[in-house]
Copies of this chain bind each other. A is one copy, B any other.
Amino acid sequence: MRLTESEWQIMNALWKNHPATAREVADELPDDVDWAYTTIKTMLTRLAAKNAVKEHKRGNMSVYEPLVTREQARRKALRSFLDQAFDGAVGPFLHFLAADKKLTPKQRQQLKQALREEESKSRGKK
């Protein structure tokens, strides 16, 4: 279940605040996304068809709820990205990432910190 670019916009809005009506989703969309109300409805309907969201009727109105978590969607997207751009190989990707000139020292620091946290977490479990 792959999200298209527009679908990500909708889902991002929905993850921020849900359950939500189409109108509420519209309000959460970034300012530069200026879609007709019916466009948003169309998107939500398509997302429901894909089982990415659940549509409930509340009175005469529809309220939407994500069926996939942001985590899950991110994981999927990362996987696709890795498959496409790195033949699915994590190692080369990590190198690519670490070598990224645009990473600030702070971000590098952050990444290392995150890794340390994870390490101690998994040590704890062992």
**A residues engaging B (CB < 8 A)?**
3, 5, 8, 12, 73-75, 77-78, 80-81, 84-87, 90-91, 94-100, 103, 105, 107-108, 110-112, 114-115, 117-119, 122
Contact = CB atoms under 8 A, between A and B. Distances in A.
A26 to B, nearest CB: 18
A111 B107 contact: no
A112 B85 CA distance: 22
Contacts of A78: 81, 85, 96-97
Contacts of A117: 98
Contact of A96 (B5, B12, B74, B95): B74
Given A74-B86, A86-B74, A99-B118, A94 B81 contact: no
